[in-house]
Structure 1
Amino acid sequence: MPVCEQVAFAGGNGKLAGRLFLPDSGSDATDPVAAVLVAGTWTSVKEQMADRYAEELARRGFAALSFDFTGYGESEGVPRDYESAALKIRDLRGAADFLGGHPAVAGTGLGVLGVCAGAMYASAFAAEDSRVRSLALVAPWLHDRRICDENYGGPEGVEAKKAAAAAARHQYEETGEVAYVPVVSGSDPDAAMPFDIDFYLNPGRGGIEQWPNRYAVMAWTEWLDFDAIALAPRLTAPTLLVHSEGAAIPDGARRFHAALAGASEFLWTEGGQFDFYDQPRQVAFAADATAEHFARTL
């Protein structure tokens, strides 16, 4: 069984809480092993899917770090539950700094695994930091403005969300109060995902007490303006994508893959988006594929 260390380190805006999963060698003396950072999907806490992938990678011989991003879960930072790509990329840099100084980690370069929207943050970090030697993206949500238009009600829908974000930002700057909507709700049309999604609403899956199911409205502008497809030509680290036609926006993943500058591999499998978060078949497939990819490229 992997060994799990509760860790803390400096992030982009305060101290971050994480879990470092290490292979169980059966002895106290071990050689350092290659390290992987795991970034979970948007609005998530580490217990929802990042811990699962980190533990699976440790079972396969890696040191793998999952953590709560700034303002989420057990990590410090305000405003709380605020989805900021810029902050999350800074947090990944802080996590890499922490791993680079850990005695269990070999100094052979760093792998990064991004799940769903974590793929956008992982890719942005990899594009700017030469320590990232290998990148893996599982069920990646990779959008640009065209994809946002298609998924958020066209140009008018996007602009409406950005107008709501501007009003919420003004309220926060004037009063310190954060306007929230649910992340997931089939009854609230203003929810970030206005659907009843079992993974997020089922306490036996991702509907856990550590996750408050709220989205800061002022985050919409940064989210909608983020262009993940444009990152691909800047990525030279070997990159693996694991996806399915039944998961979220496979067209974005195809376009991203086609534009990659470095060596790449695309594995297609079966399953819905949320199956890749916790269902044994999809998680095992993705974990096996990413471990093999990291073993070859780190």
Structure 2
Amino acid sequence: MKKLSVTAAAALMASTAAIAQVETRTVTFENEGAILSGTLYLPEERNDALLPTVVVTGAWTSVQEQMPANYAREMAERGFAAFTFDFRGWGKSGDLPNSLRFVESPEAKTSDIKAAFEFVATLPEVDVDHINGLGICASAGYMVDAVSGNPLVQRLGLVAPWLQNKEIVEAVYCGAQGVAGLIEVSHVAEAKGGEIIPAAGPEGAEGVLMPIGGYYYEADRGAIPEYDDKWNNAGWEGWLTYHPADNPERLDKPLSIVHSESAAIPQGVQTFLAGFAGDATAQWLEDVTQFDFYDNPEDVARAAETMAEHFRIGLDG
């Protein structure tokens, strides 16, 4: 039965466990013939007990060292094992032909998330009865797809989820004509064997995916050395025709969402929740932007504590 609660920004405070130390381990795993690079985050002080685990994925074009790492550390500080990774064709998981690199493919990324769940279930530190998914921004839809009907996964959390449908896509990308134009760009790029452009740039820049400055463009935020800062125009059609907001009925896991009316497309969350018949909670923070959810310490800690409380449900003791 669906339970939907809406709380204000001050409803949850960051856990004092956030001062804990974290151990990391670099690992690799395989999916569809490609080798993917990942990082396992573990509480430094732990006994031999198996750990509840969270697979964390980030925004479009992102690499694991960006917002996924922030949330993975927060989860490990709260007693979870956490796992991040680079999707095929991104970051350190780049062993693909150029035509397939930096393509924002919902299908491929969903497949990679499923493979990540299968991989973490083999790790000796992981409690296979308590594996969860946490999707941030664009990967929220991919995470919903990856956990739905997946017996390895118990619970799902989404932070600042970008859940779009046809109406939202047209509102964001200049109407039906704008969408059609970008799909044609996609077809042209595919015919060329791919067409790679910068992902981030200053406000108003031309020939850039996100000409808005901010997180991805600032060296002390998302413009870290590990960030590819690339986008393949061949990915437009797959992205624009991906409508996760319209398919909530496929989800069969308890759901927790943290978002803000000041962040991106809150109407997508509202549409998704309206059609979701399962157990769901939603926390709406006040005046938190999309980029704040990525790296503002206070907002990340609040969202992470909400996720941790959600993932603790059902744990013994």
Report the AA paired with residue 293 of structure 1.
Answer: H
1:190 Cα deviation (Å)? Answer: 4.3
Q: Which residue of the partner structure matches residue 122 of structure 1?
A: 143
Determine the C-alpha separation between the residues in 1 that align with 2:114 and 2:63: 18
Q: Which residue of the partner structure matches residue 29 of structure 2?
A: 9
Q: Which residue of the partner structure matches residue 40 of structure 1?
A: 58
> 1:130-145, aligned counterparts within 5 Å?
130-145=151-166
Q: Which residue of the partner structure matches residue 175 of structure 1?
A: none
From 94, 100, 105, the counterpart of 2:121 = 100
Report the AA paired with residue 279 of structure 2.
Answer: A
Counterpart of 2:274 in 1: which secondary structure? helix
Question: RMSD value over aligned CA atoms?
Answer: 1.4
Are the equivalent residues in 2 in contact too, given 1:113–1:137 (CA < 8 A)?
Answer: yes
From 214, 222, 228, the counterpart of 1:206 = 222
Determine the C-alpha separation between the residues in 2 that align with 1:285 and 1:14: 36
Report the AA paired with residue 19 of structure 1.
Answer: T
**Residue by residue, what CA displacement relative to the aligned partner does 1:5-62 show, whole Å, maximum 9, x if unpaired?**
1111112451111110012225xx5110111100111110011110111111011111
- Distance verdict in 2 for CA 1:181–1:128, change over 3 Å: farther
Are the equivalent residues in 2 in contact too, given 1:184–1:195 (CA < 8 A)?
Answer: yes
TM-score normalised by structure 1 residue count: 0.94
Determine the C-alpha separation between the residues in 2 that align with 1:221 and 1:285: 35
Determine the C-alpha separation between the residues in 2 that align with 1:52 and 1:12: 28
Matched, 1:243 2:259: yes
> 1:39-78, aligned counterparts within 5 Å?
39-78=57-96
Q: Which residue of the partner structure matches residue 290 of structure 1?
A: 307
Q: Which runs of 4+ in 1 moved over 3 A?
A: 187-190
Q: Which residue of the partner structure matches residue 276 of structure 1?
A: 293
Q: Which residue of the partner structure matches residue 18 of structure 2?
A: none
- Distance verdict in 2 for CA 1:281–1:83, change over 3 Å: same
Counterpart of 1:236 in 2: which secondary structure? coil
Are the equivalent residues in 2 in contact too, given 1:134–1:297 (CA < 8 A)?
Answer: no
**Residue by residue, what CA displacement relative to the aligned partner does 1:231-289 show, whole Å, maximum 9, x if unpaired?**
31111200011000100000111111111131000000031100000001110000100
User: Percent of aligned positions with the same letter in both sequences?
Assistant: 36
Query: Relative CO higher for 1 or 2, CA cutoff 8 Å, sep ≥ 6?
Result: 2
**Structure 1 alignment gaps of length 5 or more:** 173-177
Report the AA paired with residue 69 of structure 1.
Answer: F
1:63 Cα deviation (Å)? Answer: 0.8
Report the AA paired with residue 220 of structure 1.
Answer: W
Are the equivalent residues in 1 in contact too, given 2:149–2:252 (CA < 8 A)?
Answer: no
Q: Which residue of the partner structure matches residue 153 of structure 1?
A: 174
Counterpart of 1:119 in 2: which secondary structure? helix
> 1:221-260, aligned counterparts within 5 Å?
221-260=237-276
Determine the C-alpha separation between the residues in 2 that align with 1:207 and 1:226: 27
Are the equivalent residues in 1 in contact too, given 2:90–2:228 (CA < 8 A)?
Answer: no
Q: Which residue of the partner structure matches residue 209 of structure 2?
A: 192
TM-score normalised by structure 2 residue count: 0.88
